[in-house]
Amino acid sequence: MAVDAVIVGLGYVGLPLAQEATRAGRKVLGFDIDEEVVASLNAGVSHVDDLSDDDIAEMLAGGFEATTDESRIAEASTAVICVPTPLSKEGGPDLRAVEAAVAGIARHLTAGMLVVLESTTYPGTTDEVVRPALEAGGLVAGRDFHLAFSPERIDPGNEKFGAKNTPKVVGGHTPACSDAAAEFYGAFVDTVVRAKGTREAETAKLLENTYRHINIALVNEMARFCHELDIDLWDVINAARSKPFGFQAFYPGPGVGGHCIPIDPNYLSHNVRARLGYPFRFVELAQEINSQMPAYVLSRAQDLLNEDAKALRGSTVLLLGVTYKPNIADQRESPAAPLARQLAAKGAVVQFHDPHVERWQSVPDAVKVDDAASAVAEADLTILVQNHREYDVDALAGAARLFFDTRGVSTEGERVSRL
């Protein structure tokens, strides 16, 4: 059976994409350089939050298989790149994984193949980095093979929107390339939205996340001065969101996390500085504000303990929820990590509870507690960092000596404070 698509990179983006294509009856091959990931998938074991072992079993029954054999890329009529693009030391995207994936595809590129980049990056990457590498073997994009960019829009833990019902933006190197990409995704995605070209599609993803980044920074800064002015910002937002037009609610928190919000806007800011020589001031200010939130939470925690006649040094501080989003195990860029490190640096004894985390990778010295109810009763201060559905927040707050809610979900009381 011919392979309809090879998905290069089987993480939280590539695997749901492979699932939907397989469900639509496409023969899908998954390629990854991680031998453990490939072996576990072929054994029916999932390694991402949004897919269960049963989902993987369904995919395998539908013909999906995973491989580390690069040569098999040549079997596919479409190759989709879904590898990570972390932030580099210079502030732009680290493209090493993309470059490696493209090099692998280039070695097995065949005439008529469609190649799509989904990895988030700066505008121009598809045309300036991917295309030259693919054309080095003699085939020409837009003539001998199709090339497009389609930004990933996977939202881990989102129970309403997934790969199938989230509109898919595509931008091709040529109109014919856009047609080929739209036809490919249209077979298993409900709505395909065509951008003018690859640069427009690349920039659309950055605009989406920059919009969120800036608006989160706005309410985070408001949280600080509203506290000083004794204004309940959560009530302010609730009142403002009653307006049926012209307002979208964003909420403050202990910082931003995940791969998108704290990372993607910096790609755009870096690109503007590198190409045009001036700053993207909104992004840089938002980054400054959001990155300071863990330190602000630390300051508020210290104040709460002082009011209770306790020093932060030597106090036991329990963090509830250390993932970057509720109800998932993903710890990437979670603001809980810098908060924990700053608490420890001030001499606090840091404990954590999270029903989704067995080992806190970025803060290995933090003490894991298994019973949240008993732990909050013993800790000098409990901080709700992430509101997982497993938490009965008011019950936990009621049992705590001091409770600091950074998510605005508790009922305020004598021993309970909100961000």
**Residue 326's CATH number:** 3.40.50.720
Could you tell me the pLDDT band of residue 266, with boundaries at 50, 70 and 90?
Answer: confident
Of the candidates 102, 80, 207, which has an alpha carbon nearest to the alpha carbon of residue 150? 80
Instruction: Identify whether residues 258 and 362 lie together within a single domain.
Output: no
Which one of 179, 196, 213 terminates a domain? 196
Distance, CA of 41 to chain centre: 22
Instruction: Give the whole-angstrom CA distance, residue 180 versus residue 184.
Output: 6
Residues 226, 189 share a domain? no
pLDDT at 259: 76
Closest CA to 66 of 15, 31, 21: 31
Please answer whether residues 301 and 312 qualify as being in contact, where contact means their C-beta atoms are separated by less than 8 angstroms.
yes
8 A C-beta contact, residue 304 and residue 404: yes
* C-alpha 364: how far from chain center: 22
Could you tell me the two tokens for 400? 């705590």
My answer on whether 75 and 158 are in the same domain is yes
Confidence class for position 1, pLDDT limits 50, 70, 90: low
The verdict on 89 and 74 lying in the same domain is yes
* SS3 label, residue 176: helix
Query: How far is it, in rounded angstroms, from Cα 112 to Cα 116?
Result: 13
Residue 367: in which H helix or E strand, if any?
strand 367-368
Among the candidates 241, 259, 289, a domain finishes at 289
What is the rounded (10 degree) CA torsion for 348, 350, 351, 354?
A: 140
Mean pLDDT for all residues in the chain: 94
Read off the pLDDT band of 89 (50, 70, 90).
confident
* Domain final position from 149, 171, 196: 196
Tell which residue, 302, 330, 305, 296, has the closest CA to residue 406: 296
CATH number reported for the structural domain that contains residue 219 in this entry? 1.10.1040.10
Q: Say which of 82, 177, 226, 260 is annotated catalytic.
A: 260
Mean pLDDT of 84-113: 91
Instruction: Count the neighbouring beta carbons within 10 Å of the beta carbon of residue 141.
Output: 21
Structural domain of residue 375, as residue ranges? 292-418
Same-domain check for residues 132 and 192: yes
Strands 146-149, 168-172: pairing is antiparallel
Would strands 28-31 and 367-368 be described as parallel, antiparallel, or unpaired? unpaired
- Output phi, psi for 215, to 5 deg: -70, -35
Please give the pLDDT value at position 69. Answer: 97
pLDDT above 90 coverage of the chain, percent: 86
Instruction: Give the C-alpha separation, 30 to 10, whole Å.
Output: 7
- pLDDT in the model for residue 332: 87
CA distances from 216 to 158, 160, 256, 332, 402 (A): 19, 22, 8, 18, 27
- For residues 169 and 284, membership in a common domain is answered with no
Residue 364 in tokens: 């290995």
260 given a catalytic annotation? yes
Do 181 and 261 lie in one domain? The reply is no
pLDDT at 72 over 70: yes
> In terms of domains, do 175 and 224 share one?
no
Cα–Cα separations (whole angstroms), residue 189 to 27, 51, 56, 193, 281: 16, 17, 19, 11, 36
Within 13 Å of residue 259, how many CA atoms lie on the same side as its CB? 19
Q: Write the CB contacts of 68 (distance below 8 Å, at least 6 apart in sequence).
A: 31, 32, 33, 34, 35, 38
The closest alpha carbon to 384, from 407, 367, 402, belongs to 407
Residues 260 and 189 in one domain: no
Within 8 A by CB and 6+ apart from 319, the residues are 336, 339, 340, 350, 351, 352, 353, 366, 383, 385
Number of domains in the chain: 3
Residues 216 and 364 occupy one common structural domain: no
**Residue 133 pLDDT more than 90?**
yes
Return the pLDDT at 123: 93
Question: Does 102 share its domain with 228?
Answer: no
Q: What are phi and psi of 96, to 5 degrees?
A: -60, -40
What is the Cα–Cα distance from 56 to 60, expressed in whole angstroms? 6
Same domain, 13 and 112: yes
- Convert the pLDDT of each residue in 18-55 to its tens digit: 999 999 999 999 999 999 999 999 999 999 988 999 99
- Band (pLDDT 50/70/90 cuts) for residue 279 is confident
What is the C-alpha to C-alpha distance for residues 97 and 204, in angstroms, rounded to an integer? 22
Q: What is the dihedral of CA 315, 406, 387, 250, to 10 degrees?
A: -160
Read off the pLDDT of residues 323-340 as tens digits, 9 standing for 90 and up: 999 999 989 889 999 999
Question: Which of 263-277, 304-318, 366-380 shows the lowest mean pLDDT across its residues?
Answer: 263-277
